Amino acid sequence: MKLKDDFLWGGSIAAHQVEGAWDEDGKGLAIMDLVTEGSYGQPRQIHAAFQDDSRYPSHRGIDFYHRYQEDIALFAEMGFKALRISVDWSRIYPNGDDEKPNLAGIEFYQNVVDELKRYQIEPIITLYHFEIPLNLVHKYGSWKNRKVIDFYLRFCETMFTALKGKVKYWVTFNEMNHIDPQTEASDIFTYIIAGLKYSELTDKAQTLAIIGYNMTLASCAAVQLGHQINADYQIGCVFGIEPVYPIDSDPNNVLKAFKQMDRDFYQIDAMCNGIFPQYKLEEYRSQKIKIEVSQKDAEIFELGKLDFIGMNYYASSVAEYEGAVESKSALFGGLHNPFLKTSKWGWTIDPVGIRYLLNYTYRKYGMPIMITENGLGAVDQIEQDDSIHDNYRIEYLKQHIKEMKKAVELDQVDCVGYLTWGPIDLVSATTGQMSKRYGFIHVDLDDKGEGTLERKKKDSFYWYKDVINSNGEVI
Ligand code: BGP
């Protein structure tokens, strides 16, 4: 098998990390509008109200809201076949529970999509990428409350209808899998995904389980709704998964690694098999967590099966084991894998992991997979002549694309697209920094939020253009 002729090469961005214009044209407040910048090892602060001496990176983003035409022209110059964007829910329903949508918000996304279509770039629309209206958190308690599912579905219906005939690919949620009682939680992680601080949750395990369940249900209901509005819609859900390796060949450690990786898959099981997995309900029962699957819910799971699985891949990790001194995942600089180097932000660099993840997932479900994010956050330097020699980024992407190709060509995995994270420099989700750069296009903006916002092509820009142009033959 070769990469298909219509293989979706491109990139992914998210509204709160690029748009800026946080209070323009009727947009309401969304959760990330109250999160400050942080840095490696220093978490972003989550504020209840704006503080004068603080900076909130989403407010300016990289000003994609006003510069999307310029940015899309640059993506087109690289030959992009697809761009994944997210719709900020708070632009469409400023409070989440409004009676009517904000037409200016809809118009903005229609314009962005039209601009993409002008260049034959396939829009891939994520309906939830860390952007819940703040009012839904304060008034209803976020995803703990099933009413929020109804508000989410109304928002989905508005977008499915508004972009009908223009958009084929949809994503219901980005990385809901990080919310689970079994997964290591931190304030910023639960906040990014659900607008709630982990440390402030009462009955933590029960709450995380309900949020995970409600989001899974919401995703299935959205798939069903989307298919009713247009049977041709291809609707996926995106997961951020790290392959987990055992520390050694002790069978207990191998089993531990398997279990640790597998716990990130229960929602994919539900969405691909059409039934909320029994083993997860048993696990909940054993922990005194109460989750009931009603007959109505069971029907929603059954009728809302995905068309494709989206995978965000950055790093692998090593499973914890009895007696481990360190106890954090590799994403945060935890258990050391002596075979791998890490990025400046402590994320392991593991190209083979992408092949492993693609194989693991495809063998489980036999469903098309799209790599919806992959990339290296690194510090770039601008030379005197304005050039940016980001060969480390090229090297990272090159090795990952090679392994992805092996998964397709040798292992026969049906991988339908490869989107880099941050084809243009943008605000980091976990640290709020600009200096953690992912782009092929440099944006003149620093960690203090200062700069002209001017765009500049890096060496990787020309390299990726050749990759796309040759459909992955010239890497
Ligand atoms: C993924 C998110 C993205 C993006 C990426 C890189 O988990 O879906 O929104 O931010 O991680 O992370 P960061 O921006 O923290 O470097």
Count structural domains, the chain: 1
In a domain, 1, yes or no: no
In order along its 475 residues, the chain shows pLDDT tens digits of 789 999 999 999 999 999 999 999 999 999 999 999 998 888 899 999 999 999 999 999 999 999 999 999 999 999 999 999 999 999 999 999 999 999 999 999 999 999 999 999 999 999 999 999 999 999 999 999 999 999 999 999 999 999 999 999 999 999 999 888 877 678 888 999 999 999 999 999 999 999 999 999 999 999 999 999 999 999 999 999 999 999 999 999 999 999 989 989 999 999 999 999 999 999 999 999 999 999 999 999 999 999 999 999 999 999 877 666 655 544 454 688 999 999 999 899 999 999 999 999 999 999 999 999 999 999 999 999 999 999 999 999 999 999 999 999 999 999 999 999 999 999 999 999 999 999 999 999 999 999 999 999 999 999 999 999 999 999 9
Q: Residue 301 falls within a domain, yes or no?
A: yes
What is residue 179's predicted lDDT score, i.e. its pLDDT?
86
pLDDT of residue 334: 61
Tell me which H or E stretch contains 10: strand 8-12
CA nearest ligand 1 atom 5, residue: 429
Q: What is the pLDDT of residue 158?
A: 98
Instruction: Report the DSSP beta bridge partners of residue 443.
Output: 455
In this predicted structure, what is the pLDDT of residue 333? 47
What pLDDT is recorded for position 183?
73
144 domain residue, yes or no? yes
How many H-runs (helices) and E-runs (strands) does the chain carry?
A: 15, 14
Whole-structure pTM value: 0.97
Closest CA to 405 of 358, 438, 460: 358
Residue 475 lies in a domain: no
Mutate to test the pocket of ligand 1, among 430, 436, 443 (most ligand atoms within 8 A of CB): 430
Distance 373 CA to ligand 1 centre (A): 8
Q: How far is CA 121 from CA 4, 9, 111, 117, 154, in A?
A: 16, 10, 13, 5, 27
pLDDT at 39: 87
Give per-residue burial for 88-111: e unless 16+ CB within 10 Å, then b. Answer: bbbbbbbbbbbeebbeebbebbee
Taking Cα atoms as reference points, which of 159, 40, 50, 26 lies closest to residue 104? 26
- In the residue annotation, 292 being an active-site residue is answered as no
**Dihedral angle computed from the Cα positions of residues 189, 191, 197 and 198, in that order, rounded to the nearest 10 degrees:** -30
Tell me, yes or no, whether 358 lies in a domain.
yes
**Structure confidence at residue 330 (pLDDT):** 43
Look at residue 2 in the predicted model and tell me its pLDDT.
Answer: 85
Q: How many CB atoms lie within 10 A of CB 204?
A: 14
Residue 80, Cβ density class (10 Å: 0-12 exposed, 13-18 middle, ≥19 buried): buried
**CA dist list (Å): 123 to 82, 87, 170, 182:** 6, 11, 9, 34
The verdict on whether 157 is a catalytic residue reads no
The residues lining ligand 1, judged by C-beta closer than 6 Å to any ligand atom, are 14, 174-175, 240, 312, 373, 377, 421, 428-431, 436
Rounded to whole angstroms, the Cα distance separating 347 from 320 reads 17
Say which of 131, 175, 283, 403 is annotated catalytic.
175
Task: Establish if 2 belongs to a structural domain.
Answer: no
CATH number at residue 339: 3.20.20.80
Is residue 433 in some structural domain? yes
CA dist 1 and 3 (Å) reads: 7
345 in a structural domain: yes
Phi-psi region of 397 (alpha: psi -120 to 50; beta: other; left: phi over 0): alpha
* Domain enclosing residue 262, as ranges: 8-469
| Ligand 1 atom, smallest distance to 375 CA | 6
